[in-house]
Amino acid sequence: MAAETKKIPYKIYLEENEIPTSWYNMRADMKNKPAPLIHPGTLQPLKFEDMQPIFCDELIRQELDDETAFIPIPQPIQDFYKMYRPSPLTHAVFLEEALGTPAHIYYKFEGNNTSGSHKLNSAIAQAYYAKEQGLKGVTTETGAGQWGTALSMACSFFNLDCKVYMVKVSYEQKPFRREVMRTYGATVTPSPSMETNIGRAINAEHPGTTGSLGCAISEAVEVATTSEGYRYELGSVLNQVLLHQSVIGLEVKTACDKYGIKPDIIIGCAGGGSNLGGLIAPFMGEKLRGEADYRIIAVEPASCPSFTRGKFVYDFADTGKVCPMAKMYTLGHDYIPSPNHAGGLRYHGMSPILSQLYHDGYMEARTAEQSKVFEAAELFARVEGTLPAPESSHAIRAAIDEALKCKETGEEKTIIFGLTGTGYFDMTAYEAYNDGRMTDYIPSDEELAESFAKIPDLGL
């Protein structure tokens, strides 16, 4: 890899023909593969036909494929990617200056599209495969709203019906998200709703609940499996999603190679793991193959700390227990983050791929409290211009902290972080921060113990 000495522009935009034409599947290079999804009844690994009622056929093939390193991106998906990709890799010169750090900070900005985040990378792929299979529509859940918006946009593009179950607290905090989805023709229902068996049961058991991603997933799966011509699609956690999101990391890698940038530290926020898994994919590949080394840091909310305080066991993927079980870092399928938690990153579990990599020591994880996260977000907005999503701001927080360490030590480390999206629909949270009303929440050990107690002991 002969590093060229081209002058690095403030924003690196690759050429259109440098957009990846294949996704990269980290699993191909993992010695310890992620544990398979299992059936909650039989405890047997799920086979293709077990998943067919829930997922599109081609997506199941991708989900199960632990071997193929590069999977070609179908041309219609490549065409759609050109609408908003390649996304810029930006040299954060103004942030460096504000911090007075010798570190070199770059961020990959995935928010330059109406979904406001990286979620579109997988949404368009999932919608495409649903269309190819001749389906009428798809169902999904959304937390902060990015994934629901992305899937609405993708379905609109391919003329598919889209039913979104939106975590109630986000539905209330973000009425405008709902309208974006409706503008793209989707129907949006606050979850838990009274429209599904599982929604009614959850409402009965937890009256007044503000919902969780786990609940919303259960509802969306119930509707998909009981409606003719529908399947369920998920915006994170699954292997297929990390696969699609690898376009992020592949573009970063191309840009780095083109301009001779050699990252020391790669940082991403982590909820279900889709952005982080996509960002790090090719770098982790090099690390797994022993070709290069990088520090890779996952940053999660202190209020939903699955990597740092969860258990690495088989658990239900959803509150309603209608989904397969996954081996992952989990806080327990019943865990619901405190309602004061703003934005996404509220899933109780974590991508099985990333869970395995973390378990095997290939990456680090840390938490951030949201007041510190918004402090970082405000600084970033003021000096770099872009007002970041609360989720992305977890990565900003860690990037700033690492850059400040460099300031102490004098090290000129190169830090790359994922700026997954914009906060334009998160102004309720910013308002709380601006008004000094933002509070932090760290679950107690007792609270987590109670939640862990509900994870079934499968002896696996």
Q: How far is the CB of 142 from a second copy (least distance, A)?
A: 16
Nearer to a second copy, 28 or 381 (CB): 381
Shortest distance (Å) from residue 160 CB to a second copy: 12
Q: Which is nearer to a second copy, 91 or 309 (CB)?
A: 91
Nearer to a second copy, 113 or 330 (CB): 113
Q: Least CB distance from residue 179 to a second copy, whole Å?
A: 4
Cβ distance to a second copy smaller for residue 48 or 176: 176
Decide if 112 contacts 273 (C-beta within 8 A): no
Q: Smaller CB distance to a second copy: residue 82 or 454?
A: 82
Taking the complex as a whole, how short is the minimal distance between the CB of residue 82 and a second copy, in angstroms? 4
CB of 431 to a second copy, least distance (A): 5
Nearest to a second copy of 120, 267 (CB atom): 120
Give the orientation angle of helix 146-157 with respect to helix 175-183, to 10 degrees.
10
CB of 156 to a second copy, least distance (A): 5
Task: Enumerate residues 6+ apart whose C-beta is below 8 A from 259.
Answer: 4, 6, 8, 12
Q: How far is the CB of 343 from a second copy (least distance, A)?
A: 14
Nearer to a second copy by Cβ, of 382 and 454: the residue is 382
Nearer to a second copy, 149 or 330 (CB): 149
Give the shortest CB-352-to-a second copy separation in angstroms.
31
Starting at the earlier edge strand, list the strands of the sheet with 161-167. 187-191, 161-167, 137-142, 230-232
**Nearest distance, CB of residue 372 and a second copy, angstroms:** 16
Our CB check for a second copy shows the closer of 435 and 445 to be 435
Residue numbers at the binding site for a second copy (CB under 8 A): 9-11, 13, 15-16, 82-84, 94, 112-114, 116, 153, 156-157, 175-176, 179-180, 182-185, 378, 381-387, 422, 424-425, 427-428, 430-431, 433-434
Closer to a second copy by CB, 10 or 48: give it. 10
Give the C-alpha separation, 88 to 13, whole Å. 5
Residue 138 CB, nearest distance to a second copy (Å)? 16
Nearest residue (CB) to a second copy, 62 versus 146: 146
| Minimum distance, C-beta of residue 83 to a second copy, in the bound complex (Å) | 5
- 3-state SS, the chain, equals CCCCCCCCCCEECCCHHHCCCEEECHHHHCCCCCCCCECCCCCCECCHHHHCCCCCHHHHHHHHCCCCCEEECCHHHHHHHHHHCCCCEEECHHHHHHHCCCCEEEEEECCCCCCCECCHHHHHHHHHHHHHCCCCEEEEEECCCHHHHHHHHHHHHCCCEEEEEEEHHHHHHCHHHHHHHHHCCCEEEEECCCCCHHHHHHHHHCCCCCCCHHHHHHHHHHHHHHCCCEEECCCCCCHHHHHHHHHHHHHHHHHHHHHCCCCCEEEEECCCCHHHHHHHHHHHHHHHCCCCCCEEEEEEECCCCHHHHCEEEEEECCCCCCCCEEEEEECCCCCCCCCCCCCCCCCCCCCHHHHHHHHCCCCEEEEECHHHHHHHHHHHHHHHCCCECHHHHHHHHHHHHHHHHHHHHCCCCEEEEEECEECCCCHHHHHHHHCCCCCCCCCCHHHHHHHHCCCCCCCC
Residue 183: CB minimum distance to a second copy, A: 5
Burial code of 9-32, b = ≥16 C-beta within 10 A, e = fewer? eeebebeeeebbeebbbbbbbbee
Looking at the Cβ atoms of 156 and 340, the one nearer to a second copy is 156
Residue 343 and residue 389: Cα distance in Å, rounded? 8
